[in-house]
Amino acid sequence: MRNYTADDIAESFKQYKQHIQYVIVAHTYHRPYTVCRNEGSLRTVDTAKWLTRKHEQTSKDTRYALNCFNRLLYPNATNNCRRKPLLYRPLTFVTVEGARATTDRQQTIHINIAIGNLPKVLDKADVATLFRHTWHDKAKQNGDIEVLDYYEATEGKGWLGYSLKEAQQQPSRVMNECSVWDVENCWIPHDAINAD
């Protein structure tokens, strides 16, 4: 079986980049430093288990927040994303970063979402308001959220480089129990994309 790399993820993402409207960075309350600072008294296995558990929780919270977000996109037809996902559900590429041992007190486990196929009436402020509500109020996570226009986020080193930096630094984290790429929360609405 072939081992996937950060370049494989990047190639998958690049196929759909023209459909991305915004990028979202949302932080959790999970701080790896709090468990890693006690590593002398804890076994390394305990730290790895904690990181794996918090990574899984972040993925679950992301799924829940995205499902709540999807219901808010079409207020007059809240089931559109569930009944016809290939047409109405947003395009999402999700990565989870920060689920690793660190000495940085401020570092949190956080998600990066590239999102598209949103209703045209929504602007960046609307997306920020809706996602903050679902992430902070519904999923009970940190209110530290940033939403950028996709093309604004690609200036400099680029969104793709930013969201995959841990996969490039630690190739073993591309596809493992604390993988950077959150495949389960990614979605490609093929009918909507092919309609363009």
Summarised one tens digit per residue, pLDDT across range 38-58 is 555 445 557 888 888 999 999
Pairing of strands 145-149, 91-97: unpaired
Pairing of strands 91-97, 110-116: antiparallel
Q: Name the one residue in this structure whose structure tokens are 């990047």.
A: 10
Buried b / exposed e over 2-19, threshold 16 CB at 10 Å, is eebebeebbeebeebeeb
Amino acid type, 67: N
Three-class DSSP category at 59: helix
- Gap between the Cα atoms of 120 and 138, Å rounded: 24
Amino acid type, 29: Y
Question: Do 163 and 25 contact (CB within 8 A), yes or no?
Answer: no
Summarised one tens digit per residue, pLDDT across range 97-117 is 988 877 777 889 999 999 999
pLDDT value at position 5? 82
Summarised one tens digit per residue, pLDDT across range 148-190 is 988 766 655 578 888 888 888 887 777 776 788 898 999 999 8
For the chain, how many helices (H) and strands (E)?
10, 4
